[in-house]
Chains A and B, each alone.
Chain A
């Protein structure tokens, strides 16, 4: 067959993929989008003892931490719907958060200093989550105690819901909320992850 009879196929093959160039261009796009102020949500993942965590930040601050069990693609899709679809993999905005998490998992850090964007939680759930940092590193509090702290002692189940839907696990320490009988209770990242975090904090 002459090359002429097959020009369309040759045209389709004439421009091979260049993955290295694309990777470099995508990094450059993330930088430019940040500079232009159109990077509404930046994200990256970090490997931790509780598995890979997805970190996402708006211009205001850290807006989402997600366990693998939550399905990172589904989490990003939800962020696209609830915040903005202008989302890129852009690690730079999350460098400080990643470093603080690394320090936390070595036991060197007991509190997080990064700015938080609370827009994914509202109402009583938000009130509950805002009180959680009051439970100090290495301590736990019962769901009932947190309900009282949040101003509604009867809302014990609502505290459970607030913890189960915490958009910022690990950083906002819902893992420190346990049952009144001292048993661990549930955890959005799985019971093993909760045990790992509590063990880490009591060992330090």
Chain B
């Protein structure tokens, strides 16, 4: 394959994934800017992208940088916390769960990125490592640590009564 698809196809195929990634990494707010900056920047560079490149990993890489820019521009940092809120909704057993979304935004940055790029975007750990810098093992560990943190911080303690772990 020597030719590239129209960029419209790239947006159609990967737009939803990039939006999920932006929402997961940034939490509410700033998501539109991060998505728009990601695709604008990607479109600028698209003619030079090698034809055999992994387009989704490439887009998530750009989204990762744009999300960091957006956070910096907003003059704030995501503050990791070990605190477990004592009043939180009972988690839904299926479908979207605002409590889980919120718990993800409270993960330390590296865990959050590794969890989102692997479990939300579906990238293999080796691609996540390329985005975050560092080894594949480090990316795998960060994702596992993130899941472990989520197990501690989500769902709230009241909902875990009777569980044996």
State in angstroms the CA–CA spacing of A2 and B150 once bound together: 13
- B6 x A77 contact (CB < 8 A): yes
One of B81-89, B95-103, B128-136 at the interface: B95-103
* CB of A46 closer than 8 Å to a CB of B: no
Indicate whether A3 sits within 8 Å of B95 (C-beta atoms), given known contacts A29-B11, A86-B46: no
- B36 x A15 contact (CB < 8 A): no
Chain B contact residues (Cβ within 8 angstroms of A): what range? 35 or more
Inside 8 A of A25's CB, which chain B residues have their CB? 15, 19, 32, 35-36, 39
Interface size on A, residues (CB 8 A): 37
Inside 8 A of A22's CB, which chain B residues have their CB? 15-16, 19
Between A3, A7, A26, the greatest number of chain B beta carbons within 10 A of the residue's beta carbon is seen for: A3
Main secondary structure of the interface of A (DSSP, over half): helix
- A15 x B24 contact (CB < 8 A): yes
Least CB separation from B4: chain A residue = A85
Main secondary structure of the interface of B (DSSP, over half): helix
A sample of 11 more A-B contacts (CB under 8 A), given A3-B155, A36-B40, is A4-B151, A7-B151, A11-B115, A14-B24, A14-B100, A15-B24, A28-B36, A29-B40, A41-B6, A84-B47, A85-B4
Measured CB to CB, the residues of A under 8 A from B are: 2-4, 7-8, 10-18, 21-22, 25-26, 28-29, 32-33, 36, 38, 41, 43, 76-77, 79-81, 84-89
Q: List 20 A-B contacts (CB under 8 A).
A: A8-B119, A10-B91, A10-B97, A11-B119, A11-B120, A12-B119, A14-B96, A22-B15, A28-B36, A29-B11, A29-B43, A33-B43, A36-B44, A41-B6, A77-B6, A79-B6, A81-B3, A87-B7, A88-B8, A88-B43
